[in-house]
Amino acid sequence: MELFLYILIAVVATMLLMIVVFRSMLPKISEKKDQEFLRTINHIAKERAEANAILASLSIGVVAYGSDHRLLATNDLAQEMLKFIPDTIDSFLNYYGSENGMRAAFLIRSSEVSGIYERDNRVYQIKCEPRHLDGSANRFAGHVIMIQDVTESTRLEEERRAFVANVSHELKTPLTTIKSYTETLLDWGLEEKPQESVRSDLVRIYEDSLRMESLIADLLLLSSIDSKAHYMNARVLDMGSLCRQITERLRPSAEDKNLDFGCLVLPASALVFGDANSIERIVTNLLVNAIKYTPTGGRVQVSVGNIAEDIYVKVKDSGNGIPAEELPNLFDRFYRVDKTGSRQYGGTGLGLAIAHELTELHHGRLEVESQAGTGSAFTLFLPRADRYLIQVFLRLVNNDQVDDILGKAAAQTLSKTLADSDWEVATGPTADRKHLRHVLEKIGQEVNNKMKII
């Protein structure tokens, strides 16, 4: 009995000791659990922040819905594009997928659920894809919706289709004429038709072949501009001299219509830096249009002058003018103001588009002022030669990239003109003002005195 009592006392004492020890360890265990809990929370917060940062950095809008079809996450770009993000994927598809087929494709479990959504003159492509955990088809995680702004690519695709359609039409018209007149000659024979009729048919065939040749040449030129492969032999040009030459060359066409036709050059020199063939093409296109659309006995005048740091060439006519609503599209390819009678005047519908794009290659601008019934005035602005070459020089000494066609030609011209010491000039706050001024004056002198001028 005493032995049992001793054992019982020992057991009780051991239990009490264990309780005391456990209670002394309890704060440490609790503290450890708290630390583990905090670490878990911080880890989750860090992962969520990283996920949000990744979503924010994406160039597409992203919306994620869980396996319960409820909203999990979205980025700011998706919110900006759509303005409203529904709480469930079913609501999303009802709102954004009813008219474009997305909702129907989702319900029949189509392999591709995508559609186009338009809002505020923007075009968005929306694509919905299912997601699974660890690549397993059995562990469904939810859906990811991606929104991409395709406004620009859609516009370019529409322009490409319109361009192909216009080219096809413009080529088909003269080909049809050539084919018809050739068939007539073959069917009737040269001996059976009157000599005058045969000549008339051949003239028509020749004129339409020239029209095709002109269209193909214009298309090749536009292609070289688009691909940045347009060759330019750029140098300093005198716009006054160039415009006088073009005016005299076109004078017979103006005299055939009894037009008051002339060229007025205001400054003693109007120097620009550019490709003579390209600038001649711009001015010629403007003058040919002015002569073509001005009625007999009208007036077409060319004036050359300078304003601020630009040289301008203005071609003004007393023709029928252009309605205000047509002006925004005037420089589009194949655009014609007169949709019905344009064949009367010939041409390819590319003249003004070519003039505009060649002007942009020369860092200039082409402006038009016109009202229906009062004539038109087209003004070409090009940077003055000394101003443009100085700008390129300053970009080069500041190590700024000069990668456009005209800029590269200007860099080559400057490298042939300036000495090595001229390129060591500093700019900015630490500039040697005297040295810099000397180099800039030297460029101006070379432009006005020594460079080859046409």
Query: Residue 372 has what DSSP assignment?
Result: T
Using one digit for the tens of pLDDT, what is the confidence trace for 330-353? 888 877 766 554 455 556 678 899
pLDDT of residue 21: 54
pLDDT (0 to 100) of residue 339: 55
Model pLDDT, residue 39: 59
Can you give the pLDDT at residue 282?
94
Ranges of CATH 1.10.287.130 domains, the chain = 155-226
First vs last C-alpha separation in the chain: 133
DSSP 300: E
Q: Alpha-carbon distance 96 to 84, whole Å?
A: 10
| Residues 400, 403: Cα–Cα separation, whole Å | 10
Looking at the chain, the domain(s) classified CATH 3.30.450.20 span 57-149
- Within the chain, which residue ranges are assigned CATH 3.30.565.10? 235-384
Give the ranges where 73-142 is alpha helix by DSSP (H): 76-82, 89-96, 102-107
Mapped onto helix, strand or coil, the DSSP state of residue 108 is coil
Classify 57-149 by CATH class. alpha beta
Residue 434 has what pLDDT? Answer: 75
Between strands 113-119 and 122-132, the pairing is antiparallel
Q: DSSP characters for 319-357?
A: S----GGGGGGTTSTT--S-TTTGGGT---S-HHHHHHH
Residue 49: closest CA among 83, 73, 77: 73
Structure tokens at 307: 């304003």
Task: Quote the pLDDT of residue 165.
Answer: 78
pLDDT tens string 198-224: 888 888 888 888 888 888 888 888 888
Range 235-384 classified under CATH 3.40.50.2000: no
**pLDDT top residue among 86 and 158:** 86
pLDDT at 7: 47
- The CATH label, of 3.10.290.10, 1.10.287.130, 3.90.1300.10, 3.30.70.1450, for the domain at 155-226 is 1.10.287.130
Question: How many other C-beta atoms are found inside a 10 Å radius of the C-beta of residue 64?
Answer: 19
What does the pLDDT look like over 71-104, one tens digit per residue? 888 888 888 888 889 999 999 999 999 888 999 9
Tens of pLDDT, residue by residue over 382-394, are 999 989 988 888 8
pTM higher than 0.85, yes or no? no
Residue 325 has pLDDT above 70, yes or no: yes
Check if the beta carbon of residue 85 is closer than 8 Å to that of residue 78.
yes
Structure tokens at 147: 């929104």
Mean of all residue pLDDT scores within the chain:
80
